[in-house]
Amino acid sequence: TRSTRPQRLLAAVQKNATRGDPRSVVKAIDEFCRYTEWAMNVGDEKGCILDSVVSEVNPATVLELGTYCGYSTVRIATLLPPDAKLITLEFNPDFAVIARQVIAWAGQEEKVHLVEGSSGDLIPKMKEQFGVKSFDLVFLDHWKDRYLPDAKLMEECGLLGKGSVLLADNVICPGSPDYLDYVRNSPKYRSQYFKSHLEYTKVEDGLEKSVFLG
């Protein structure tokens, strides 16, 4: 039967990227998506904004919601110090299988803990099951209508501390209007929009960076 897009993306990584070289993995995926087959990775333009926020926060603990093929997982992990921890949640087992191989090809397994399951079920387990006190950085890139409920759930579970940063992809396209309204108007956050473009296109999109004020 016909291969899936994530399978074709992984094949492009294994063909064009050097094992153990995360930058070559990122480049191979961006070239595949720009010249062969579009896929919903944060991409190179927004990826540079992601990189700058990760570098600025210099997080010890990171949570990513929606691994997909592991593109942003690799971008983030590459910037983390060796003792930092990146937990990434993915509920589609077929995507998780691909993401594990992309992360392995990039040589980032040590820093990444990919957990299969849905954020709604797993977020409440972060403290006791994964020994997390709070997240320094959360990258939201899963179903757009889950950004707001999951942000509130993280607050309720005490997973956000003073200064914790939420960085959300696609706040314009496809958009997450209820989330955007919440973080921009809640006294609990200081929010900032980074204008960019939808990955591999000229369509406007952007990232919203929201600092939890405690």
Ligand X SMILES: O=C(NC/C=C/[C@H]1O[C@@H](n2cnc3c(NCCO)ncnc32)[C@H](O)[C@@H]1O)c1cc(-c2ccc(F)cc2)cc(O)c1O
What does 54-85 look like in DSSP terms, one character per residue?
HHHH--SEEEEE--TTSHHHHHHHHHS-TT-E
Active-site position among 30, 64, 90, 141? 141
> Could you give the C-alpha distances from 140 to 14, 23, 93, 147, 158, in angstroms and in order?
27, 22, 19, 7, 17
Is the Cβ of residue 94 or residue 190 nearer to ligand X in the bound state? 94
Active-site position among 44, 136, 170, 205? 170
Distance CA 141, CA 9 (A): 18
Is the Cβ of residue 60 or residue 173 nearer to Mg ion in the bound state? 173
Cβ–Cβ under 8 Å, residues 10 and 98: yes
Active-site position among 64, 136, 150, 199? 199
Q: How far is the CB of 142 from ligand X (least distance, A)?
A: 4
Q: How far is the CB of 102 from Mg ion (least distance, A)?
A: 16
Q: How far is the CB of 104 from ligand X (least distance, A)?
A: 18
Distance CA 26, CA 79 (A): 13
Q: Is 90 a catalytic residue?
A: no
Active-site position among 64, 169, 205, 208? 169
Residue 169's nearest CA partner among 211, 201, 139, 200 is 139
Q: Is 186 exposed, middle or buried (0-12, 13-18, 19+ CB in 10 A)?
A: middle
Is the Cβ of residue 32 or residue 95 nearer to ligand X in the bound state? 95
- The reply on whether position 196 binds Mg ion by CB under 5 A is no
Is the Cβ of residue 80 or residue 198 nearer to ligand X in the bound state? 198
Look at the chain and count its residues. 214
Residue ranges in 109-138 that form contacts with Mg ion under rule CB under 5 A: none
Q: Which partner from the list ligand X, Mg ion, none does 163 bind, CB cut-off 5 to 8 Å by kind? A: none
Question: x/- binding map, residues 60-89, to Mg ion, per CB under 5 A?
Answer: ------------------------------
Q: Is 199 a catalytic residue?
A: yes
Give the largest Cα separation in the chain, rounded. Answer: 52
- The reply on whether position 170 binds Mg ion by CB under 5 A is yes
Q: Is 128 a catalytic residue?
A: no
Distance CA 166, CA 160 (A): 9
Residues near ligand X (CB under 6 A) are 40, 66, 68, 89-92, 95, 118-120, 141-143, 146, 169-170, 173-174, 198-199
Distance CA 189, CA 213 (A): 5
Catalytic site residues?
Answer: 141, 144, 169-170, 199
